[in-house]
């Protein structure tokens, strides 16, 4: 059994080629790619060979991307959540990522999300132990929802760089003050320390999707006139300060990954021309071990990241009123459809790759050996897989056994609305991943 080992102590609308989602049947073969070899040896690394990420040695370069599981219960780990991630560990990933563990209660986007409270810690330890027992590493995505947070579920107002009216909750996000900003920085550092305490091998700090720190980067959402607004340097201050607080807290006891937008996918938002200098600043600051670039806005354009079909009807079916009526009426204007292609973020991500020397994770349309290898040829050190693994949790093992194995994922995106009842691929399980014992926390007595 391979066990992860810590080795250290001390205006860009996408232009993807249109492709039909196809049928649920497995295609005859994987697509072919051409890429540029950028490794120092001229030979790209094997994506399924062991690799080091910061202080952690992984059994391969494949990361299960953070996909919100919908399996926590009142902020605590459940047996279902443990089983969810153990499935990917058994399926061969080098590391699985627990999606969105909020650093503060008002930063949750769902009232059941894991939050770094004393009550959550026993279950998190059960979770990390279970994943390690299968030979995989485990990462915790940490962040603050900011304007994306759920004020009704949290019983607390959402926070944003500037006062903002959110149509989906019919409420205003409050402008966060300087004391609140300092609390957010400390909360991220505290969450990182608790991740170490719970046995996580890595943390992924969420600086994307117009969550709090991402919304500070956005000129569309950040109208401040103090040191946190205006120029790009000011808008990036919270991101840099938070990463400095995290790194100072944890040192090299845990791998630190930054997840940040290439662009928000909305007019007037954060774009690639600003993402490049921000990643250079983060590299110069020395506060992270790797970058994972993403895209889109959970607040304004959620489908910009995912590409593929827009499941408007499925979202309407699970949302409460009056959102159900609104989505049925005008959902296509918010839940938009973007053509899918494999490795769809590569075109923009390679511009970050050319700008920094930090290790990078390529996310977006990684579906098999072919797309893994193009990432390696382009100079990325790791790949992150989301929907393809929801469809087939053992896809990495399948690819290791037969390199030409293609993914069965058809990019219908009907998995997205299932996070209200337990995230899953509806082509595999149309019911729920919440078992009969959902609500019974893992790792507790009594």
Q: Are 367 and 22 in contact (CB under 8 A)?
A: no
Identify the band that residue 44 occupies on the pLDDT scale cut at 50, 70 and 90.
very high
| Per-residue tokens: 26 | 């497995």
Reported as a pLDDT band with limits 50, 70 and 90, residue 377 is: very high
pLDDT score for 194: 99
Considering the chain, what percentage of its residues have pLDDT values greater than 70? Answer: 87
Find out whether the peptide bond into 322 is cis, omega within 30 degrees of 0: yes
Alpha carbon distance, N-terminus to C-terminus of the chain: 33
DSSP three-state, residue 193? helix
Rounded to whole angstroms, the Cα distance separating 407 from 172 reads: 42
User: For position 435, what pLDDT does the model report?
Assistant: 66
**What span, in angstroms and rounded, lies between the C-alpha atoms of 48 and 96?**
15
Residues with a catalytic annotation lie at 211
In which band, very low, low, confident or very high, does the pLDDT at 437 lie, cut at 50, 70 and 90? Answer: low
Distance CA(399)–CA(248), nearest Å, equals: 39
**Please, which pLDDT band fits residue 440 given cuts at 50, 70 and 90?**
low
What are the pLDDT digits (tens) for 171-202? 899 999 999 999 999 999 999 999 999 999 99
Closest to 142 in 3D by CA, of 163, 123, 162, 124:
124
**Residue 42, pLDDT score:** 76
Confidence (pLDDT) at 327: 83
96 band by pLDDT with thresholds 50, 70 and 90: very high
- Residue ranges and CATH numbers for the domains of the chain are 40-147+177-420 (3.20.20.70)
- Indicate the pTM of the whole model: 0.89
* Residue 233: per-residue pLDDT: 99
State residue 379's pLDDT score: 98
Q: What's phi and psi for 221, nearest 5 deg?
A: -105, -20
Q: What is the pLDDT of residues 48-86, one digit of tens each?
A: 999 999 999 999 999 999 999 999 999 999 999 999 999
């Amino acid at each position: 059994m391979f066990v992860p080992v810590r080795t250290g102590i001390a205006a860009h609308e996408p232009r993807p080629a249109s492709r039909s989602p196809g049928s649920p049947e497995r295609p005859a073969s994987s697509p072919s790619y051409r890429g540029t070899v950028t490794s120092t040896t001229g030979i790209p690394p094997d994506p399924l060979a062991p690799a080091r990420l910061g202080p952690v040695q992984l059994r391969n370069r494949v990361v299960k991307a953070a996909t919100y599981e919908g399996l926590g219960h009142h902020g605590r780990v459940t047996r279902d959540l443990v089983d969810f991630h153990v499935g990917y560990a058994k399926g061969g990933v080098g590391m699985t990522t627990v999606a969105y563990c909020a650093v503060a209660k008002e930063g949750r986007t769902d009232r059941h999300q894991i939050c770094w409270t004393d009550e959550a810690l026993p279950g998190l330890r059960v979770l990390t132990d279970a994943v390690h027992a299968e030979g995989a590493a485990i990462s915790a995505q940490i962040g603050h929802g900011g304007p994306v947070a759920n004020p009704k579920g949290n019983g607390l107002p959402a926070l944003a760089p500037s006062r903002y009216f959110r149509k989906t909750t019919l409420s205003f996000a409050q402008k966060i003050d300087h004391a609140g900003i300092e609390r957010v920085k400390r909360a991220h550092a505290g969450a990182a320390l608790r991740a170490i305490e719970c046995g996580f091998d890595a943390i992924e700090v969420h600086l994307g999707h117009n969550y709090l720190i991402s919304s500070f980067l956005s000129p569309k959402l950040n109208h401040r006139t103090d040191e946190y607004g205006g120029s790009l340097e000011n808008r990036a201050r919270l991101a840099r300060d938070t990463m400095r607080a995290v790194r100072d807290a944890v040192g090299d006891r845990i791998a630190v990954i930054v997840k940040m937008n290439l662009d928000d996918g909305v007019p007037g938002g954060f774009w690639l021309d600003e993402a490049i200098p921000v990643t250079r600043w983060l590299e110069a600051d020395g506060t992270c071990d790797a970058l994972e670039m993403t895209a889109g806005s959970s607040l304004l354009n959620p489908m910009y990241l995912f590409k593929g079909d827009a499941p408007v009807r499925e979202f309407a079916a699970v949302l409460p009123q009056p959102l159900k009526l609104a989505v049925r009426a005008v959902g296509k204007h918010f839940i938009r459809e973007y053509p899918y292609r494999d490795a769809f973020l590569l075109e923009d991500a390679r511009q970050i790759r050319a700008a920094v020397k930090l290790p990078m994770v390529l996310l977006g349309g990684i579906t098999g050996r072919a797309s893994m290898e193009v990432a390696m040829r382009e100079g990325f050190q790791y790949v992150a897989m989301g929907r393809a693994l929801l469809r087939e949790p053992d896809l990495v093992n399948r690819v290791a056994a037969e390199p030409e194995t293609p993914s069965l994922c058809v990019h219908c995106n009907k998995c997205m609305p299932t996070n209200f009842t337990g995230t899953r691929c509806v082509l595999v399980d149309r019911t729920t991943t919440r078992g009969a014992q959902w609500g019974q926390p893992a790792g507790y007595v009594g």
